[in-house]
Amino acid sequence: MSHKKKGIGMLNLPAVKVAAVQASPVFLDTAATVEKACSLIHEAALNGAQIVAFPEVFVPAYPYWNWIMTPVQGSPWFEKLCLAAIEIPGPEIDRLARAARQNKMYVVIGVNERSRHGIGTIYNTLVFLGPDGELLGKHRKLVPTWAEKLTWASGDGSSLRVFDTSVGKLGGLACGENTNTLARFSLLAQGELLHVASYISLPIGPDSYDMADAIKVRSMAHSFEGKVFTVVSCSTVTEEIAALFEPTCPGISERFQRKHSAFSGVIGPDGRVIGEPLIDDEGIVYADVDFTRCIQPRQMHDIVGHYNRFDIFDLRVNRQTQQPARYYDGPSETRPGAFESVIDPDRGERLVDPDGRE
Protein backbone atom coordinates (compact mmCIF):
# COMPACT_ATOMS: atom_id res chain seq x y z
CA MET A 1 0.00 0.00 0.00
CA SER A 2 1.37 3.45 -0.91
CA HIS A 3 2.39 5.66 1.99
CA LYS A 4 0.42 8.50 0.40
CA LYS A 5 -2.93 6.71 0.91
CA LYS A 6 -4.86 7.55 4.03
CA GLY A 7 -5.72 4.85 6.50
CA ILE A 8 -6.48 4.37 10.16
CA GLY A 9 -3.42 5.32 12.18
CA MET A 10 -1.34 5.90 9.06
CA LEU A 11 1.11 8.78 8.73
CA ASN A 12 0.10 10.91 5.75
CA LEU A 13 3.17 12.72 4.40
CA PRO A 14 2.56 14.96 1.39
CA ALA A 15 4.69 15.18 -1.74
CA VAL A 16 5.39 18.88 -2.34
CA LYS A 17 6.95 20.99 -5.06
CA VAL A 18 8.87 23.89 -3.55
CA ALA A 19 10.30 27.04 -5.11
CA ALA A 20 13.16 29.27 -3.98
CA VAL A 21 13.48 32.77 -5.44
CA GLN A 22 16.87 34.33 -6.07
CA ALA A 23 16.32 37.96 -7.01
CA SER A 24 16.93 41.57 -6.05
CA PRO A 25 14.29 43.96 -4.75
CA VAL A 26 13.46 47.22 -6.48
CA PHE A 27 15.73 48.94 -4.01
CA LEU A 28 13.82 51.00 -1.42
CA ASP A 29 10.75 51.07 -3.69
CA THR A 30 8.24 49.20 -1.55
CA ALA A 31 5.29 49.17 -3.94
CA ALA A 32 7.39 48.06 -6.91
CA THR A 33 9.11 45.35 -4.88
CA VAL A 34 5.77 43.99 -3.67
CA GLU A 35 4.53 43.86 -7.27
CA LYS A 36 7.72 42.07 -8.32
CA ALA A 37 7.13 39.53 -5.54
CA CYS A 38 3.53 39.01 -6.69
CA SER A 39 4.74 38.37 -10.24
CA LEU A 40 7.25 35.80 -8.97
CA ILE A 41 4.53 34.11 -6.88
CA HIS A 42 2.46 33.76 -10.04
CA GLU A 43 5.43 32.41 -12.00
CA ALA A 44 6.15 29.80 -9.32
CA ALA A 45 2.50 28.74 -9.31
CA LEU A 46 2.49 28.33 -13.08
CA ASN A 47 5.42 25.94 -12.67
CA GLY A 48 3.51 23.81 -10.20
CA ALA A 49 5.04 24.95 -6.90
CA GLN A 50 2.91 24.86 -3.75
CA ILE A 51 5.21 27.02 -1.64
CA VAL A 52 7.61 29.77 -2.63
CA ALA A 53 10.36 31.28 -0.46
CA PHE A 54 11.78 34.78 -0.88
CA PRO A 55 15.06 36.30 0.36
CA GLU A 56 15.78 38.06 3.62
CA VAL A 57 14.22 41.57 3.86
CA PHE A 58 13.23 41.36 0.19
CA VAL A 59 10.74 44.16 0.87
CA PRO A 60 12.20 46.62 0.12
CA ALA A 61 15.99 46.50 0.73
CA TYR A 62 18.96 45.23 2.69
CA PRO A 63 21.02 47.94 4.49
CA TYR A 64 24.29 47.47 2.63
CA TRP A 65 25.39 50.92 3.73
CA ASN A 66 26.09 49.54 7.23
CA TRP A 67 29.05 47.62 5.78
CA ILE A 68 30.62 50.38 3.69
CA MET A 69 29.87 53.67 5.47
CA THR A 70 30.36 55.16 8.90
CA PRO A 71 27.24 55.30 11.08
CA VAL A 72 26.97 59.04 10.37
CA GLN A 73 27.24 58.54 6.62
CA GLY A 74 24.69 55.75 6.70
CA SER A 75 22.13 57.56 8.85
CA PRO A 76 20.25 59.18 5.91
CA TRP A 77 19.93 55.73 4.35
CA PHE A 78 18.52 54.41 7.61
CA GLU A 79 15.86 57.11 7.43
CA LYS A 80 15.00 56.06 3.87
CA LEU A 81 14.60 52.45 5.02
CA CYS A 82 12.39 53.41 7.97
CA LEU A 83 10.11 55.37 5.64
CA ALA A 84 9.96 52.45 3.18
CA ALA A 85 9.44 49.74 5.82
CA ILE A 86 6.00 48.18 6.27
CA GLU A 87 3.67 47.37 9.14
CA ILE A 88 2.16 43.95 9.78
CA PRO A 89 -0.71 43.73 9.12
CA GLY A 90 -0.86 46.42 6.46
CA PRO A 91 -1.66 47.12 2.80
CA GLU A 92 1.54 45.54 1.50
CA ILE A 93 0.85 42.31 3.37
CA ASP A 94 -2.72 42.43 2.07
CA ARG A 95 -1.40 42.65 -1.51
CA LEU A 96 0.96 39.69 -0.99
CA ALA A 97 -1.80 37.72 0.74
CA ARG A 98 -4.09 38.32 -2.23
CA ALA A 99 -1.40 36.97 -4.57
CA ALA A 100 -0.98 33.93 -2.33
CA ARG A 101 -4.73 33.31 -2.39
CA GLN A 102 -5.09 33.84 -6.14
CA ASN A 103 -2.28 31.38 -6.83
CA LYS A 104 -3.18 28.95 -4.01
CA MET A 105 0.37 29.25 -2.74
CA TYR A 106 2.17 29.27 0.60
CA VAL A 107 4.51 32.28 0.66
CA VAL A 108 7.44 32.97 2.99
CA ILE A 109 8.94 36.41 2.42
CA GLY A 110 11.41 38.65 4.23
CA VAL A 111 10.41 42.25 4.98
CA ASN A 112 11.58 45.27 6.91
CA GLU A 113 8.86 45.60 9.55
CA ARG A 114 8.37 49.00 11.14
CA SER A 115 7.17 49.11 14.73
CA ARG A 116 3.59 50.34 14.86
CA HIS A 117 4.48 52.65 17.75
CA GLY A 118 8.08 53.54 17.01
CA ILE A 119 8.92 55.04 13.62
CA GLY A 120 12.66 54.62 14.22
CA THR A 121 12.44 50.94 15.19
CA ILE A 122 12.43 48.30 12.47
CA TYR A 123 12.76 44.52 12.49
CA ASN A 124 14.14 41.94 10.08
CA THR A 125 10.98 39.85 9.72
CA LEU A 126 9.95 36.68 7.90
CA VAL A 127 6.25 36.62 6.99
CA PHE A 128 4.33 33.35 6.51
CA LEU A 129 1.20 33.42 4.31
CA GLY A 130 -1.20 30.57 3.56
CA PRO A 131 -2.82 29.63 0.22
CA ASP A 132 -6.09 31.10 1.47
CA GLY A 133 -4.38 34.46 2.03
CA GLU A 134 -4.23 33.99 5.80
CA LEU A 135 -1.35 35.55 7.71
CA LEU A 136 -0.04 32.45 9.46
CA GLY A 137 2.52 34.36 11.47
CA LYS A 138 5.83 36.17 11.41
CA HIS A 139 9.30 35.70 12.78
CA ARG A 140 11.55 38.59 13.78
CA LYS A 141 15.27 37.89 13.52
CA LEU A 142 16.43 37.28 17.07
CA VAL A 143 19.81 39.04 16.81
CA PRO A 144 20.90 41.27 13.92
CA THR A 145 24.30 40.17 12.63
CA TRP A 146 27.36 42.33 13.15
CA ALA A 147 26.88 45.64 11.28
CA GLU A 148 23.13 45.00 11.02
CA LYS A 149 22.76 46.10 14.64
CA LEU A 150 22.88 49.68 13.32
CA THR A 151 19.56 49.06 11.59
CA TRP A 152 17.37 46.40 13.21
CA ALA A 153 16.04 45.78 16.68
CA SER A 154 16.16 42.27 18.13
CA GLY A 155 13.15 39.99 17.93
CA ASP A 156 11.85 37.82 20.76
CA GLY A 157 11.05 34.16 21.30
CA SER A 158 7.33 34.54 20.64
CA SER A 159 7.94 33.88 16.95
CA LEU A 160 9.97 30.68 17.32
CA ARG A 161 7.07 28.65 16.00
CA VAL A 162 6.41 25.92 13.45
CA PHE A 163 3.24 26.02 11.35
CA ASP A 164 1.29 22.82 10.70
CA THR A 165 0.43 23.18 7.00
CA SER A 166 -0.63 21.05 4.06
CA VAL A 167 2.96 21.29 2.77
CA GLY A 168 4.40 19.90 5.99
CA LYS A 169 5.42 21.39 9.30
CA LEU A 170 6.95 24.70 8.25
CA GLY A 171 9.49 26.89 10.01
CA GLY A 172 12.11 29.45 9.09
CA LEU A 173 15.01 31.62 10.17
CA ALA A 174 16.77 34.60 8.65
CA CYS A 175 20.36 34.49 7.42
CA GLY A 176 22.93 34.34 10.24
CA GLU A 177 20.50 32.97 12.82
CA ASN A 178 20.63 29.73 10.84
CA THR A 179 23.93 29.27 12.69
CA ASN A 180 22.14 29.61 16.05
CA THR A 181 22.04 26.01 17.21
CA LEU A 182 19.42 26.53 19.91
CA ALA A 183 17.10 28.52 17.65
CA ARG A 184 17.27 25.77 15.05
CA PHE A 185 16.75 23.07 17.68
CA SER A 186 13.69 24.88 19.04
CA LEU A 187 12.06 24.58 15.60
CA LEU A 188 13.11 20.96 15.12
CA ALA A 189 11.67 20.12 18.54
CA GLN A 190 8.27 21.33 17.29
CA GLY A 191 8.38 18.78 14.47
CA GLU A 192 9.71 20.99 11.67
CA LEU A 193 10.05 19.11 8.37
CA LEU A 194 10.37 22.01 5.90
CA HIS A 195 12.74 24.81 6.83
CA VAL A 196 13.02 28.12 4.99
CA ALA A 197 16.41 29.83 5.25
CA SER A 198 16.35 33.37 3.87
CA TYR A 199 19.61 35.14 2.98
CA ILE A 200 21.11 38.17 1.27
CA SER A 201 24.00 38.29 -1.14
CA LEU A 202 27.00 39.86 0.61
CA PRO A 203 29.73 40.47 -1.97
CA ILE A 204 31.40 43.15 0.15
CA GLY A 205 32.43 41.03 3.14
CA PRO A 206 35.97 39.89 4.01
CA ASP A 207 37.92 38.59 1.01
CA SER A 208 38.35 35.23 2.73
CA TYR A 209 34.58 34.78 3.15
CA ASP A 210 32.77 32.91 0.39
CA MET A 211 29.12 33.79 0.92
CA ALA A 212 27.69 31.16 -1.43
CA ASP A 213 29.64 28.36 0.25
CA ALA A 214 28.78 29.69 3.71
CA ILE A 215 25.06 29.64 2.90
CA LYS A 216 25.30 26.12 1.52
CA VAL A 217 27.24 24.78 4.51
CA ARG A 218 24.78 26.26 7.02
CA SER A 219 21.81 24.83 5.14
CA MET A 220 23.37 21.41 4.72
CA ALA A 221 24.14 21.34 8.45
CA HIS A 222 20.54 22.04 9.46
CA SER A 223 19.13 19.50 7.03
CA PHE A 224 21.60 16.80 8.01
CA GLU A 225 21.29 17.37 11.76
CA GLY A 226 17.51 17.60 11.77
CA LYS A 227 16.82 15.21 8.84
CA VAL A 228 14.64 17.88 7.21
CA PHE A 229 14.36 19.68 3.89
CA THR A 230 15.72 23.22 3.69
CA VAL A 231 14.59 25.75 1.07
CA VAL A 232 17.25 28.43 0.67
CA SER A 233 16.35 31.78 -0.87
CA CYS A 234 18.98 34.48 -1.38
CA SER A 235 18.85 37.98 -2.85
CA THR A 236 21.11 39.41 -5.54
CA VAL A 237 22.73 42.82 -5.97
CA THR A 238 22.20 44.64 -9.25
CA GLU A 239 24.54 47.19 -10.80
CA GLU A 240 21.86 49.82 -10.16
CA ILE A 241 21.91 49.08 -6.42
CA ALA A 242 25.70 49.26 -6.25
CA ALA A 243 25.74 52.55 -8.17
CA LEU A 244 23.58 54.21 -5.49
CA PHE A 245 26.49 54.11 -3.04
CA GLU A 246 29.19 55.22 -5.48
CA PRO A 247 28.97 58.97 -4.66
CA THR A 248 29.70 58.30 -0.96
CA CYS A 249 32.02 55.33 -1.49
CA PRO A 250 33.94 55.74 -4.79
CA GLY A 251 34.94 52.40 -6.30
CA ILE A 252 32.42 50.39 -4.28
CA SER A 253 30.60 49.20 -7.41
CA GLU A 254 33.53 46.96 -8.32
CA ARG A 255 33.45 45.28 -4.90
CA PHE A 256 29.74 44.62 -5.28
CA GLN A 257 30.46 42.59 -8.41
CA ARG A 258 32.38 39.85 -6.59
CA LYS A 259 31.18 36.45 -7.76
CA HIS A 260 29.96 33.48 -5.71
CA SER A 261 28.08 35.73 -3.32
CA ALA A 262 24.56 34.26 -3.59
CA PHE A 263 23.27 30.69 -3.30
CA SER A 264 19.67 29.48 -3.58
CA GLY A 265 18.51 25.90 -3.70
CA VAL A 266 16.93 23.00 -1.86
CA ILE A 267 18.76 20.66 0.53
CA GLY A 268 17.55 17.16 1.36
CA PRO A 269 17.55 15.39 4.74
CA ASP A 270 20.85 13.73 3.83
CA GLY A 271 22.50 17.16 3.61
CA ARG A 272 22.84 17.06 -0.18
CA VAL A 273 21.65 19.62 -2.72
CA ILE A 274 18.64 18.49 -4.73
CA GLY A 275 18.96 19.36 -8.42
CA GLU A 276 20.84 22.44 -9.60
CA PRO A 277 21.13 25.45 -7.31
CA LEU A 278 21.41 29.05 -8.48
CA ILE A 279 24.70 30.88 -7.95
CA ASP A 280 24.60 34.68 -8.32
CA ASP A 281 22.03 34.77 -11.16
CA GLU A 282 18.38 35.74 -10.75
CA GLY A 283 15.78 33.03 -11.17
CA ILE A 284 13.66 30.46 -9.35
CA VAL A 285 14.86 27.02 -8.22
CA TYR A 286 12.32 24.18 -8.05
CA ALA A 287 12.48 20.80 -6.34
CA ASP A 288 10.15 17.95 -5.47
CA VAL A 289 10.12 17.12 -1.76
CA ASP A 290 9.14 13.68 -0.41
CA PHE A 291 8.93 13.80 3.38
CA THR A 292 9.22 10.02 3.69
CA ARG A 293 12.93 10.60 3.02
CA CYS A 294 13.10 12.12 6.52
CA ILE A 295 12.24 8.81 8.21
CA GLN A 296 15.06 6.32 7.66
CA PRO A 297 17.90 8.76 8.50
CA ARG A 298 16.24 9.35 11.88
CA GLN A 299 16.70 5.71 12.81
CA MET A 300 20.35 6.69 13.20
CA HIS A 301 20.09 10.27 14.50
CA ASP A 302 16.79 11.66 15.71
CA ILE A 303 18.13 14.55 17.80
CA VAL A 304 14.67 15.56 19.02
CA GLY A 305 13.75 11.97 19.81
CA HIS A 306 15.61 8.80 20.72
CA TYR A 307 19.08 10.19 19.82
CA ASN A 308 19.20 12.59 22.74
CA ARG A 309 19.31 12.65 26.54
CA PHE A 310 16.62 14.95 27.83
CA ASP A 311 17.49 13.93 31.38
CA ILE A 312 20.84 15.64 30.79
CA PHE A 313 19.93 18.52 28.46
CA ASP A 314 17.08 20.94 29.22
CA LEU A 315 16.28 23.65 26.66
CA ARG A 316 13.81 26.28 27.84
CA VAL A 317 12.48 28.82 25.34
CA ASN A 318 10.86 32.05 26.52
CA ARG A 319 8.04 32.70 24.06
CA GLN A 320 6.56 35.68 25.87
CA THR A 321 6.12 38.76 23.71
CA GLN A 322 8.39 41.57 24.86
CA GLN A 323 6.69 44.98 25.08
CA PRO A 324 7.80 48.49 26.08
CA ALA A 325 4.93 48.89 28.57
CA ARG A 326 2.18 46.97 30.36
CA TYR A 327 -1.14 48.64 31.05
CA TYR A 328 -3.33 47.90 34.06
CA ASP A 329 -7.04 48.66 33.71
CA GLY A 330 -9.96 48.75 36.11
CA PRO A 331 -10.56 49.67 39.77
CA SER A 332 -8.66 46.65 41.11
CA GLU A 333 -5.45 47.51 39.35
CA THR A 334 -3.66 48.47 42.57
CA ARG A 335 -4.42 45.18 44.32
CA PRO A 336 -1.72 42.48 44.43
CA GLY A 337 -2.50 39.87 41.82
CA ALA A 338 -4.88 42.18 39.96
CA PHE A 339 -5.82 41.18 36.42
CA GLU A 340 -3.26 42.46 33.97
CA SER A 341 -4.44 43.42 30.50
CA VAL A 342 -1.73 44.01 27.98
CA ILE A 343 -1.87 45.62 24.57
CA ASP A 344 0.88 44.28 22.35
CA PRO A 345 1.95 47.49 20.54
CA ASP A 346 3.33 45.71 17.48
CA ARG A 347 0.62 43.12 17.00
CA GLY A 348 -2.28 45.38 17.91
CA GLU A 349 -3.99 42.66 19.90
CA ARG A 350 -5.27 42.39 23.46
CA LEU A 351 -3.66 39.65 25.48
CA VAL A 352 -5.59 37.86 28.22
CA ASP A 353 -4.56 36.59 31.62
CA PRO A 354 -4.01 32.85 32.34
CA ASP A 355 -7.66 32.47 33.45
CA GLY A 356 -8.88 33.55 30.02
CA ARG A 357 -10.50 36.81 31.13
CA GLU A 358 -10.49 39.73 28.71
Rounded CA separation 285/128 (Å) = 19
| CA dist 355 → 134, 318, 341, 352 (Å) | 28, 20, 12, 8
Q: Give the H or E element holding residue 127.
A: strand 118-129
Instruction: Judge contact between 25 and 291, C-beta under 8 A.
Output: no
Q: Is the Cβ–Cβ distance between 15 and 290 less than 8 Å?
A: yes
CA dist., res. 61 & res. 49, Å (int): 25
* DSSP classification of residue 260: S
Q: Quick check: 167 and 160 in contact, CB under 8 A? A: no
> HSE of 230 in the Cβ direction (CA atoms, 13 Å)?
36
- Contact yes or no for 145/209 (Cβ under 8 A): no
Which DSSP symbol is given to 146?
A: G
Taking Cα atoms as reference points, which of 323, 341, 321 lies closest to residue 333? 341
Calculate the CA 20 to chain-centre distance. Answer: 12
Helix/strand/coil (H, E, C) string of 290-354?
A: EHHHHCHHHHHCCCCCCCCCCCCCCCCCCCCCCCCCCECCCCCCCCCCCCCEEEECCCCEEECCC
Query: Which of these, 185, 213, 187, 182, lies nearest to 199 by C-alpha position?
Result: 213
Catalytic residues: 56, 141, 175
